[in-house]
Amino acid sequence: MNMMPTESGKVFDPKLHLPRMAQILEVTAMTAREKYFRIALPQPLGHRPGQFVMLSRLGIGEAPISISCGPRNDNILELVIRKAGRLTRVLHRLKPGQSVGIRGPFGSGFDLSAFEGQDVVCIVGGLGLAPLRSLIQPLLAQPQRFGRITLISGCRTPAEELYRDELHSWERMHRESGRVTVIRLVDKTDNLPWNGQVGLVTAPIADLALNPERTLVALCGPPVMYKFVIMELMARNIPASRIYVDLERRMRCGVGRCGHCQINHAYCCQEGPVFRFDRVGHLQEALQ
């Protein structure tokens, strides 16, 4: 596609602004509020872990949605969508065969080369597992390239747990090598069957076997989680430069033009949503 200069002199790249039509292949209810979508794009997306797409339905609207699968060579995209408002209510009613618009991939994402030879701890709350799955999948797939993986995954009740079968299978597949540890927690069991722990995602951090010099940590969850998790990590001597935070802000354009997503001077849609904590920790608006 050609790049066209706009009136302001800025370059207009149609690829960034115009949605590509994509076909839904599968929609599965994961919880009462979240659905899993498998979508076929016209071409492979070519994304990095931690990036997002702008997802639209013609005549309804558009919203940023995290890519929930690791980088792949085919044209398949996986998303988890929580019913929150007008657009996501409509998306939840769509069936296989219907289409959505996709722009992107956008955002910085994770640079996998920084994770080479490192032990990785992923700490997620609720829907935060959806984006971090895009990091966990490639880490699991290449044991020779990456070190040990620990996932601490928390949600409010057993009924709200995402990717439950997959969490079990990650643990099972790697049990013999001891390479993968999955710690599942709920705030409360709600009298439902539960074979994980009860408590907050901060609780297991004190007991993790961590080498601060070869451990990277990735966090994604509700804003309230970050401050307390980071305090626990710092108590374990993990430096801010080894912590990645996934910070979501309201977005419009997704391409650094509208200013809706700013965290102080940083444009979350371009420099984030994944930030190294030492680069944003000092910003007043970062952990709000």
Ligand X SMILES: Cc1cc2nc3c(=O)[nH]c(=O)nc-3n(C[C@H](O)[C@H](O)[C@H](O)COP(=O)(O)OP(=O)(O)OC[C@H]3O[C@@H](n4cnc5c(N)ncnc54)[C@H](O)[C@@H]3O)c2cc1C
The residue ranges that bind ligand FES (CB under 6 A) are: 251-254, 256-261, 267, 269
Q: In the bound complex, what is the minimum distance in angstroms from residue 227's beta carbon to ligand X?
A: 17
Of 63, 121, 122, 218, the residue at the interface with ligand X (CB under 6 A) is 63
Cα(281)–Cα(173) distance, integer angstroms: 36
176 CB burial (10 A radius; 0-12, 13-18, 19+): exposed
Question: Quick check: 259 binds ligand X (CB under 6 A)?
Answer: no
Cα(103)–Cα(97) distance, integer angstroms: 19
User: Interior CA angle at 231 toward 163 and 218, to 5°?
Assistant: 35
Cα(244)–Cα(61) distance, integer angstroms: 30
Q: In the bound complex, what is the minimum distance in angstroms from residue 19's beta carbon to ligand FES?
A: 15
Cα(13)–Cα(27) distance, integer angstroms: 31
Contact track, ligand X, 107-146, x by CB under 6 A: --------------------x--x----------------
Residue 180's binding partner among ligand X, ligand FES, none (Cβ under 5 to 8 angstroms by kind) is none
CA distances from 178 to 22, 149, 197, 205 (A): 39, 9, 20, 18
Of 36, 37, 52, 146, the residue at the interface with ligand X (CB under 6 A) is 52
Nearer to ligand FES, 152 or 251 (CB): 251
Q: Which of 249, 278, 274, 252 is nearest to 262 (CA)?
A: 249
Of 61, 101, 147, 281, the residue at the interface with ligand X (CB under 6 A) is 61
Residues that bind ligand X (CB under 6 A): 52, 61, 63-66, 80-82, 84-88, 127, 130, 248-251, 273
